[in-house]
Structure 1
Amino acid sequence: MAEVRVIPDSSAPSSPSPPVPGRPLLLLLAVTCGVTVANVYFPQAVSPLIADGLHVPSSSAALVVTCAQLGYAAGIFLLVPLGDRMRPRSLVTTLLLITCAGLLLAATATRLPVLAAAGALVGLTTVVPQILIPMAAGLSSPQRRGAVTGTLLSGLIGGILLARTFSGVLGQWLGWRAPYLAAAALALLLAPVMAVALPRTAPSTDQPYPKLLAAPVRLLRTEPLLRRSCQYQVLVFAAFSAAWTALALFVTGPRYHLGTPAVGVIALVGAAGMLATPIAGRRTDRDGPDAVSLVCLTGTVTAGVLLMAGNLGGPVGLVGLAAGMLLLDVAMQSGQVANQARIFALRPEARARLNTAYMTCAFLGGSAGSWLGVRAYSAFGWDGVCALVTVLAGLALLRHVLRDRPGRVSTANTAQRTSEPSGDTAPQTSPPSGGTDRGEVEAGRGR
C-alpha cells in the first residue's frame, strides 16, 4: 500500500480529515499521468512516418491525431464520471489493460481507417490522468490543492512533451509501429502497479450511470466558474493543438527538410514546462487562479507572435520555433493548473464530474484545433497557423478581461442552482480554497 498521511483540514472541522497522498505516491501518480497521456500525443510526431508507411497524404495521416483526441474527449465524458462512483483501483487498472489492447491493434494496422479507429479506442480508455488528478485533489487540503494538482500536471506535461521526442526518435529508427508497441508494454506494466499502489478510496456517490453522464451538463449550466474555465481552455488548447499538429508538417517540409526527430528535439526543449506547473500551483494557492490565468493567457498570445520567427528558416528560425513552443506549453499547462484549482473548489463530492465537463470541453477544443491547424497550414502556410494561434489566444484573453466580477453572476443562474438538488450522497462541506475567487463562487452558489 502506498504511503498516505493524514493532516487536519481546517475548512471542514465537523467532518473527518481527508488522507493526503505522500510524496512517493504523488510521484508515482505523476509518472502514471505522463505515461498514459503520452498515448494521445506521440502520434503527432510520427504522422509523417505513418503517411509514408501507409502511402497516404500527410494531411490524411494527421487524422490519426484528431481521432485520438476525439476518443480522449469521448472517454472523458463517458468514463471519467465513474471516478465518483467506482474505486479508482479497479477503474484505472481496467482502463490500462484496454488501452494496451488498443495500442497493439494500432501497431498491427495495415490501413489508415483501422489505425484511426484504434487511435480513437486508445484515446477513449487512456483517460487515467483525468481520474487520478481529481482523486489526488480530493485527498489534499484546500491549502495544498493547487500544489498537488501542479505536481501531477508536471508529470502530465512530461508525458506530452517527451512522448513526441521518444516517438520521433524511435519511429525514425524502427518505424512508426515501434512507439505503439512500446506504449503498449508500458500500459501493461502500469496496470498491476496501480492495482497495488492506489489507496482504497470510497466512492462519493451512488448515482446511476445515466445521472452521472447528465451531471457534467448540469454543472456547466449552473456553475459560472466552471463555464469560464472551460472557455479559457477550449480556446487555448485549440491553439496548442493547432501549433503542434502543424509543426510536424512544417519542419519536415520544404522550409527545413528535417526528419521527425526534429519535432522531438523541439518538444524536449518544451519539457522545461514541467518545472513551471508546480510553481503555477503554488502561485494559484497564494494569489488566486485569476491572477495566474491573466499571465498565462498573455503568454499564449505572445507565443503565437513568437512562432512567426519560424519562417526565417535556418538556426534562427529553429530557435524561434523552440522558444515559441516552450512559451506555448508553459502558458497552456500553467493555465490549466489555475483552471482546475478553480473548479475543484466548487463541489468536493463531484470533482470527477467537474473534471469531466472541463476536460471534455478542452479536448473538443483540442480536436478542433488539430483540424484547423492542418487546414490553416495547407491554405496559408506557417503564417496561417501562427495567426490562428494568436487569434484563439486573444479571444481567451478578451474573455478573461471581460469576466464577471464578484456579485455580477445572474440571479437566474443563482436561482436555478439553489433550486436543483445535487443528488449526491456526500455533503458539500469544503469551501473554496484560498486561491479561488471567493466572491464569484459565493454568488454562483446563491449564498
Structure 2
Amino acid sequence: MQIETSHPTITRPLLLLMPVLSGLVVANNYYNQPLLALIAEDFNVQEAAVSKVSVLTQLGYACGLLFIIPLGDKVLRKRLILIDLIFVVLALIMMAFATQIWMLFIASFFIGVTSVIPQLFVPIAAELSTPEKKAANIGIVMSGLLLGILLSRFVGGIIGEYFGWRAMFEIAAIAMIVTWFIVYRFLPNLQPNFIGSYGSLMKSVWQLAKTEPRLQLASFRGAMGFGAMSALFTTLVFHLEGPPFFAGASVVGSFGLFGAVGALSAAFVGRFQKRFSINQLIQAALVILLVSWLFTYFGRYTYIGLIMGVILIDLGLQSSHIMNQADYFSIPTNATSRLNTVYMVSYFIGGSLGTYFAALAWEAAGWEGVCFVGFSFGVLALMAHLLFAKRVVHKQIIR
C-alpha cells in the first residue's frame, strides 16, 4: 500500500555529501576495467575470459538494483545503506584475496550487487527537491556518481600498475569502512512510503514498468547509451596495450580523467531546461554520443582521437542520463526508488550487453568491430527517441 509522507527540503550539506559518497561506492564497479590485462596475466587466461569480470559486475549491479533498491520505499534507507555497506566490504575483500578465476567471478558479481547505494541517493535528491530545482540537484548527485565511475578507472590503473591489482580492492574495502561511519554519523533518517509485503512491493515495480511509457522510453535510451560507453571502456585497455600505443594500465586509467571533463559538463545540463525541453536536450545528447564514435573510429591510432571520443561519449551519455532521470521522476508518484529501479536495471543490463558484444567484436574484428557495436547501440537509442518521444509526451498530457 502506498502512503503519503512529508519530507524536509534538501539541505546544502546533505546535497554535497551525497555525491561524494555516491562516487566512492559506485567506483567499486569500475576499478576492474583498467586492471583486466593485469588480471589476465596473473591468472594466465585469455582477455575475453577475464572480460567476464566486468560483465558479472554489471549484471550483479542490475540484480542489486532490482532486488535491493525498491526496499528504499519500504524500509528506513539509512539502515538499508549501513547493512549493505557491510556486504560491500566482504565482497571487496574476497576479490582482493581470490586465488582462482571462479572466485573473481563470484566476488565481482557480489561487488555489483552490493554497490547500488548511489541509486538510493538519487531518489532522495529528487524527492526532497522542489520541482524547479529537481534536475539541477539530480545533476549534482550524479556528478559525484559519474566522477566516481570515471576517476575509478584512473585510480585503478595507477594503483594496479605500481602496487598490483589486488591492492586496489584492499584500498577500496578500507574506503567502504570509512563510508560506513560517515553514513552512520551524517545521513538523516527518511520514513518509508510503502506498507506491504516484499512481494507486493516487487509487483508494484513491475506495474510501473508495464504502465509508464515515459519510464519505458527513458529506460531503453539509458540502456542503449550505457551499452555504447561500456563497449568503449571495457575494450579500451586491450586496444591501448597493442600497437602503436603499447600503453600500461596507468595510461588506460588516465582516460577516466578525460571522461571526467564530459561528466562534469553534463552535470550542468539541467540549467538549459529554461530554454529547451527535456526531449530536445536528450536528442542533442544522443547526437553527441554518436559523434563520439566518429572520433574513436577515425582517430583510433592517435591519442587525440581517442581522447576526444572519450570526452564526447561521456558528455553525451551523462547528459542524456541526467535528463532521462529528470523526465521519469516527474511522473506523479512518490514511488521514487521503484521508478529508479526500473530505469537503472535496464541501464545496467544495457551496459552488460555492450560489454558482452564488445568482447565478442574485439575477438572477431578488433577495434573496428568494437566501434561498430558502440555506434549501433547509439543509433538504437536515437531512433527510439525520435520515433516515440513526442508520442509519449502526448499520452502523458491525455492522462
TM range (shorter): over 0.9
- Give identity over the alignment, percent: 34
Say yes or no: does 1:374 pair with 2:329: no
Cα RMSD for the two superposed structures = 1.5
In 1, Cα distance between equivalents of 2:362 and 2:139: 33
Where does residue 263 of structure 1 map in the other structure? 252
In 2, Cα distance between equivalents of 1:388 and 1:122: 26
Of 203, 215, 221, the match for 1:214: 203
Query: Where do residues 29-68 of structure 1 align in structure 2 (5 Å cutoff)?
Result: 29-68=18-57
Question: Aligned-pair distance for 1:309?
Answer: 3.2
Query: Where do residues 238-387 of structure 1 align in structure 2 (5 Å cutoff)?
Result: 238-284=227-273, 287-311=276-300, 313=301, 317-387=302-372
Question: Aligned-pair distance for 1:80?
Answer: 0.3
Q: Is the 8 A contact 2:217 2:389 kept in 1?
A: no
- Unaligned runs of 5+ residues in structure 1 are 1-14, 410-436
Of 368, 386, 389, the match for 1:401: 386
Paired letter, 1:153: M
Q: Is the 8 A contact 1:238 1:365 kept in 2?
A: yes
Query: Where do residues 164-183 of structure 1 align in structure 2 (5 Å cutoff)?
Result: 164-183=153-172
In 1, Cα distance between equivalents of 2:385 and 2:128: 30
Question: Aligned-pair distance for 1:96?
Answer: 1.1
Question: Aligned-pair distance for 1:304?
Answer: 1.2
Q: Is the 8 A contact 1:153 1:337 kept in 2?
A: yes
Residues 17 and 85 of structure 1: CA distance in aligned 2, closer, same or farther (over 3 Å): closer
Where does residue 124 of structure 1 map in the other structure? 113
Deviations 1:171-202 (A, max 9, x none): 00111101101111111110121122112211
Of 139, 163, 184, the match for 2:173: 184
Where does residue 85 of structure 2 map in the other structure? 96
In 2, Cα distance between equivalents of 1:343 and 1:126: 23
Residues 339 and 28 of structure 1: CA distance in aligned 2, closer, same or farther (over 3 Å): same
3-state SS, counterpart of residue 201 of structure 1: coil
3-state SS, counterpart of residue 9 of structure 2: strand
Deviations 1:250-293 (A, max 9, x none): 10123421101111111111111232233112224653321110
3-state SS, counterpart of residue 204 of structure 1: coil
Question: Aligned-pair distance for 1:399?
Answer: 1.3
Say yes or no: does 1:193 pair with 2:182: yes
- Unaligned runs of 5+ residues in structure 2 are none
3-state SS, counterpart of residue 242 of structure 2: coil
Question: Aligned-pair distance for 1:20?
Answer: 2.1
Q: Is the 8 A contact 1:237 1:363 kept in 2?
A: yes
Higher relative contact order (CA 8 A, sep 6+): 2
Question: Aligned-pair distance for 1:216?
Answer: 2.2
* Number of equivalences: 396
Residues 180 and 279 of structure 1: CA distance in aligned 2, closer, same or farther (over 3 Å): same
Residues 197 and 286 of structure 1: CA distance in aligned 2, closer, same or farther (over 3 Å): farther
Where does residue 434 of structure 1 map in the other structure? none
Q: Which has the higher helix share?
A: 2
Task: Name which of structure 1's ranges 30-39 and 272-281 shifts more when overlaid on structure 2.
Answer: 272-281
3-state SS, counterpart of residue 348 of structure 1: coil
Question: Aligned-pair distance for 1:378?
Answer: 1.2
In 2, Cα distance between equivalents of 1:290 and 1:377: 34
In 2, Cα distance between equivalents of 1:284 and 1:114: 47
Residues 168 and 256 of structure 1: CA distance in aligned 2, closer, same or farther (over 3 Å): same
Of 117, 132, 143, the match for 1:143: 132
In 2, Cα distance between equivalents of 1:388 and 1:62: 16
